[in-house]
Amino acid sequence: MNNQQKDHILNFLEKGIRFDGRKLDEYRKIKIEKGFSENAEGSSKVSIGNTEVLAGVKMSVMEPYPDTPDEGTMMINVELLPLSSPNFEPGPPGIQAIELARVVDRGIRESKTIDTKKLCIKKGEKVWSIIVDVCPINDDGNLFDASALAVVAALQDTKMPSYNGKVVDYKKKTKDALPLNLKKIPTSCTVSKIGNHFIVDPVSEEEEKVEARLTVEIEEDGTLCALQKGGDNPLTAEDIDKMVGIGIEKSKELKKLL
Amino acid sequence: MSYTKRNDGRKFDETRPIEAKAGIIKRADGSAYFKMGKTVAYAAVYGPREIHPKFLQNPKNGKLRCFYNMMPFSSMGDRVRPGANRRAKEIAMVTEKALLPVVDLTEFPNSVVDVFIELPQTDAGTRCAGICAASMALADAGISMNGMVAAVSIGRVDDKLVVDLDYSEESYEDGTVADIPIAVVSRTGEISLLQMDGELSRDDLKKALEMAKKSCSKIDKIQKDALKKKYEVKNE
């Protein structure tokens, strides 16, 4: 990005407005559609403005990890498809995709949204494994919050496949939803710093200029369940307090959409 | 026993319902969505853009590069492990060859046009849906082309030739099945993709090609209508 564009964006922020006309703490229009896929056990399509991501849940039966013999497992994976942005290349996940997946993963894991004990079939032998894959279709900024919403929506949409003790029958979905603790469901709000300004939901042009960002994952009662600072520049303690404040405010809005 | 009625009640020469849209991925230079029954394909085109590594540059011709990928949650059954496997690489290669006859490579020397095909949901016929979407995405990107490509798979289920196999037919168990994906250059009727697995007589192949041409001309119309729709001027 050249300096002119940077000045352009900054000039607007000085006036308390974004160059696309939004307020500094205003999200673009968010749309959540559940169950777009007939093949996945659960799925969702989330768009924030032009940003669009798909998430799908696949379940299987596996042996539990030795340290948690009576708990099911959960993994979140992000594929930054080269289809969705000129900046992504084919190949194994790069550090950007890994960070994104791990931050979303932390939000779900630490909030204990999924009651993993209820995913145990036989202690020490068989448990359910949940894998949520996130695939952006169009990256126009703020993949963090879009992916977090998509994962939660896909988990809410999931119906367990039937299992007869030997094989999983994917064609026969049961009526059972996942054991989710609805009170704990996290929402993710990423606050970005450009100059002395704090904004949410940057579009890709703004995202290239972000000096520092803080992703705040928040449970319904305002408890923080995951944090991730990104960007090249440091933040002061006051900055962080402000950003968390914005995150808590915005998460109330996001929560209503789920 | 012979296959007298299709599992989903279609006529033997009938494709599944098709839905096509152009220009759905905003950051891509061109893009398309192509849905055939339950099989869904997205295609995005980026370029012409610089090619890396540089030794691939060709001062006479540009390069068309295709990628094919099934999303991890796309299939009924187990999760598809991410990353290009041998199957995906082969399909990407034949997709490239299917599209090459209509793309004018001399228009973008030293550069590459990348075509990314992604499948969020699959129910057989994915390479054909991918090619249909890719052809539309190339046109949407304004790449210099002398026509479009449409593709459909023809199948022999037991003793019947059928258009556009779905998964239940591909895995038909009361008899043998042959699966023949075919791509047709719409302007000339030439065949730019032909593969087959299963057993087939010479006569049946002839018939299959005829059926493919007929279906592809219908698909061609759907593709072009979708492209026109994107550029339609709305009177309000």
Instruction: Say whether residue A139 is in contact with chain B using an 8 A CB cutoff.
Output: yes
Mean pLDDT of B9-18: 96
pLDDT in tens, A45-74: 999 999 999 999 999 999 999 999 999 999
- The domain in which residue A94 lies consists of 3-257
A217 three-class SS:
strand
Model pTM score? 0.92
Residue B120 CA to residue A101 CA, distance in Å, equals: 19
Angle between helices B86-99 and B126-140 (to 10 degrees): 50
CA nearest B118: which of B57, B182, B177, B66? B66
Residue B174 pLDDT > 80: yes
Residues within 8 A of B (CB atoms), A 194-253 only: 204
Q: What is the pLDDT of residues A84-99, one digit of tens each?
A: 999 999 999 999 999 9
User: How far does B204 lie from chain A, in Å, by closest CA?
Assistant: 33
pLDDT tens digits along A124-166: 999 999 999 999 999 999 999 999 999 999 999 999 999 999 9
CATH code, A192: 3.30.230.70
Per the listing, tokens 């399509």 go with A45
Stretch (H or E) spanning B70: strand B63-70
In terms of DSSP H, where are the helices of chain A?
3-14, 95-110, 143-157, 204-207, 237-257
Tell me the pLDDT tens digit for each residue of A20-39.
Answer: 899 999 999 999 999 999 99
Contacts of B46 in chain A (CB under 8 A): 82, 86
Structural domain total, chain A = 1
**How many CA within 13 A on the CB side of residue A110?**
18
- Please report which confidence band the pLDDT of residue A3 belongs to, taking 50, 70 and 90 as the band edges: confident
Phi, psi of B203 (to 5 degrees): -60, -45
Domain coordinates of chain B in residue numbers?
18-225
Measured between beta carbons, the chain B residues lying within 8 angstroms of A133 are 71-73, 79, 82
- Indicate the fold that domain B18-225 takes in CATH: Ribosomal Protein S5; domain 2 (3.30.230)
**In the predicted model, what is the mean pLDDT of residues A216-240?**
94
For residue B31, list chain A residues with Cβ-Cβ distance below 8 A.
83
Say how many C-beta atoms besides its own lie within 10 A of residue A127's C-beta: 23
Phi-psi region of A38 (alpha: psi -120 to 50; beta: other; left: phi over 0): alpha
Per-residue pLDDT averaged across B73-102, rounded? 95
Give tens-digit pLDDT for B103-118.
Answer: 999 999 999 999 999 9
Q: Which residues have C-beta within 8 Å of that of residue B186, sequence separation ≥ 6?
A: B147, B148, B149, B150, B216, B217, B220
For residue A109, what pLDDT band results from cuts at 50, 70 and 90? very high
Distance of residue A160 Cα from the nearest chain B Cα, in angstroms: 12
Both tokens of B118, joined, read 């992604």
Does the distance separating the beta carbons of A56 and B118 come in below 8 Å? no
Bond from prior residue into A66 cis (ω within 30 degrees of 0): no
| pLDDT at residue number A25 | 95
pLDDT in tens, A178-212: 999 988 999 999 999 999 999 999 999 999 989 99
B236 pLDDT more than 70: no
pLDDT at residue B166, as a whole number: 94
How far is B197 from B192, CA to CA, in rounded Å? 17
